Chains A and B, each alone.
Chain A
Amino acid sequence: MSEFFSASLLSSTLTIATPLFIGALGGLFCERVGIVNVGLDGIMLAGAFAAAIASYYSQSAWLGVIIALLVGAVLGILHAVICVGFKADHVISGVSINILTSSVTVFLLQYLFGNKGQSPTCPKIGTLGASFSGIPFLGFILQSMSYLTVLGLVLIVLSHIFLYYTKTGLRLRSIGENPYAAQSLGIPVVNYMYASVIVGCALAGLAGAFLSIGMLNVFTKNMTAGRGFIALAAMIFGRWTPLGSLLTSLFFGYVLAWQLNTQGLSVPAQLVEAIPYITTLLVLAFVSKHARGPAHDGKIYNLNQN
């Protein structure tokens, strides 16, 4: 039993889940105003790169976090201009962002450091540290917990309050359901869309920063390894809610952390790696008819139509 519920297992669960639930939150802010964000993975990659580079040159990890947020926001502007301004297909825009960031990051690695594989090591974000180590069981988890994980958990709670207990949050959600109705109520739909997509993409940048300067202290080529897509799945699986996204991310994190611990067992790692994806497919197959996202999600909002 302790093997499945040890402090170290839970600690690594939380670490693995952090980029997932922050990323899922980023996707959620986009989809709640009806903009699908398949480019989540690419934005996370750009955030990871920006964070490592800024942290390396300034020797300040927190500056890295801020730059990652900014780079995410800039890509958010790009995504919003393409999807809202140009009324283009959301998935196409997302795919183009993924291709763009994976090539630009490798290009810049090669140009700046003459090394396509990885950046030099850089300062990383600290952990809560020894002041919590006195608490039994939880102490171990807390002391190795990154400040970014704490920030992510706070953001989840704040987003929940914002979306469900404020007027602005209610308006934001109404746009994803029916932008035309929202518009007829006098809500500035386009402004909301831009703001929400930019915030969502900035969060995706933050999720990426956790990979390069939260978990590690270096950026490596294509280091997101599809985590953006898992974050997207966690968001859908969590029914487009912050708390649901957190829970499903923790579930994925647990499965993946457990996989790291089972390397001594005879189960091949490659097959265990597939478990979160197969689980997602199975769950989607059974709950999809009931788990509907925002009604206008992925559709093009065209003012002239109404």
Chain B
Amino acid sequence: MSRVKWSEGLWQLIPSVIAVIAALVIGAIIILAIGENPFDAYRAMLSGAFGDLSSLADTLQRATPYIFGALAFLVAAKAGLFNIGIEGQMYVGGMAAAIIGFSVPGLPLILHLFLALAGAMLMGLLWALIPGWLKVRAGVNEVISTIMLNYVAYSVTAYLTVHVFHEPGLIPQTFQVAPTAVLAPLLPPSKLNTGFILGLLLAVILWVYLFYTPGGYDLRVTGLSLPAARYAGINSERVIFNALLMSGAIGGLMGAERILGVYQRFIHSFSPGYGFTAIAVALLGQNNPLGIIPAAILFGALESGGTAMSLQVNVPRELGLILEALIIVFIAAQYFIKSRFVTIIKRGESHE
């Protein structure tokens, strides 16, 4: 019996590994199809992602928003919610961080930074309050409401950027944040900043919260089975509501990291879809706060390595993004793979 449990636990990693390998194989076929050598391309990608300190810094920098975004997705997912609105929560959080960052100069460093981060979290939380309230009060599916709110966030931040806080010039961007509100760089000239450390810390905190506290237990039970949670006396409506707020706050923090650490001002439509790709990262990390870290670094590596690869081999750098997408396609089939393996193990067990 104990053997079944142990091997089942190990098999949980298998779908992620299979997904990555399968994506790399299909990627190799694509590279062959455009007439290049897949080994050369992958070698260039690998050294471009981890080859030296500056490329490693670039990889980790690109991984940072995915750590935050995946944690945001995960907290909601553990309570049975599908928060596809991280993108919007990130935009409003980033905007709040920028406004606090440039509008109150002269504050002490730690206080100013803390205020900007807290403002971003609060704004993300408030943005998630709307779908949470719609879900609990009116039964509106959070998938639809959060998608709609992404566009509202996009429009509102565009308005603020272009009409209210616009720094004169051709690029739609706001004023620069004060140096006291900047997340300090870790390895200049790369854009890697202390936000990365913050993301790692947050992952550990969430891991402890989810698996070692009563609140985390309530949240997970609610996600696994609503009737069971109600039967156990858990106020599941409140748990769901709070999980979504937590998710939104982390989404806001994700925006703050980009704005305070990387761009140091709010740039209109700065995100290439971080909030959506983060969902893939959460799934690849098997919805585990610690599993998310290697998954995010892998995605960061595909992007930074993709750029390096396109300079050395004649393969467009979007190959990295295609690999990301293929990984999630294969992850989407993970339930199938997982259940097959568990069936095979159990069958083997019963033969003994």
Contacts and interface: CB of A to CB of B under 8 A. Distances in A.
Contacts of A87: 335-336
Secondary structure of the A contact surface, majority rule: helix
Interface of B: 34, 82, 84, 130, 134, 137-140, 143-145, 147-152, 155-156, 158-159, 162-163, 273, 276-277, 279-280, 283, 316, 318-319, 321-322, 324-326, 328-329, 331-336
A93 B276 CA distance: 12
A274 interface: yes
Given A99-B325, A233-B148, A281 B156 contact: no
A273 B138 contact: no
Contact of A284 (B138, B155, B334): B138
A277 B152 contact: yes
A57 interface: no
Contacts of A99: 273, 276-277, 280, 321, 324-325, 328
A-B residue pairs, 8 tightest by C-beta:
A103-B321, A100-B325, A86-B336, A107-B318, A274-B155, A270-B159, A110-B316, A96-B328
B156 A271 contact: yes
Interface string A71-89: 0000000100010011111
Interface residues of A, number: 45
A117 interface: no
Given A97-B329, A99-B321, A274-B155, 13 more contacts: A78-B329, A82-B329, A91-B143, A103-B318, A111-B34, A111-B316, A270-B158, A273-B158, A274-B151, A277-B155, A281-B152, A285-B137, A288-B140
Interface in A91-138: 91-93, 95-100, 102-104, 106-107, 110-111, 116
B151 A100 contact: no
Nearest to B314: A111
Nearest to B317: A110
B79 to A, nearest CB: 15
Contact of A288 (B139, B152, B328, B332): B139
A226 interface: yes
Contacts of A188: none
Nearest to A281: B148
A104 B323 CA distance: 10
B318 A110 contact: yes
A36 B144 CA distance: 11
A103 B333 CA distance: 20
Nearest to A91: B82
A92 B332 contact: yes
B322, B325, B335 interface centre (most CB from chain A within 10 Å): B325
Contact of A88 (B84, B137, B332): B332
A277 B131 CA distance: 13
Contacts of A233: 144, 147-148
Given A229-B147, A274-B151, A100 B335 contact: no
15 contacts: A85-B336, A88-B334, A89-B335, A95-B280, A97-B329, A99-B324, A102-B321, A104-B325, A271-B156, A277-B148, A277-B152, A278-B152, A280-B144, A281-B145, A286-B138
